[in-house]
Amino acid sequence: MKEISELKFPDDMKYNESHEWVKPGDTVRIGITDYAQDQLGDIVFVELPPEGETFDKGDEFGTVESVKAVSELYMPIGGEIVATNGALEDAPEKVNGEPYDGGWMIEVKPDDPAEMDALMDKNAYVESLKG
């Protein structure tokens, strides 16, 4: 496992305590952080919901299976799933190699964009990891 200083946390994203990231926009992309993928190890399977389903903030929306464990994925904000990253079906290892780009998981149309305000910025998230 890497030291926190060796991991990447983009400035333009928001983070939650269960280690998902959110990239703001009209629709928001969601995935797991570099820290989460590093802790999990080699990811071998990703289960995502179908497009059109809606979830509340905090709901479980899928799972990530690694050689070490199966971990649940939680919605950092509520909304409707408008896209899923189908590439992860054949190449789940993209989450390890590029957690913020090719390894994104879902795109959501937010129910309440103000829920983003409760998420952490990069500095707060990194401090929470050190804590």
Whether residue 3 lies inside any domain: the answer is no
The enclosing domain of 27 has a CATH number of: 2.40.50.100
* Closest CA relative to residue 55, chosen from 92, 105, 101: 105
Sign of CA dihedral 69, 70, 72, 73: positive
Whether residue 97 lies inside any domain: the answer is yes
pTM more than 0.85: yes
Domain count of the fold of the chain = 1
pLDDT bin (cut points 50, 70, 90) of residue 131 is confident
Q: Which range of residues forms the domain containing residue 96?
A: 11-130
21-71 pLDDT tens trace:
999 999 999 999 999 999 999 999 999 999 999 999 999 999 999 999 999
Q: Which two tokens stand for residue 46?
A: 């990703």
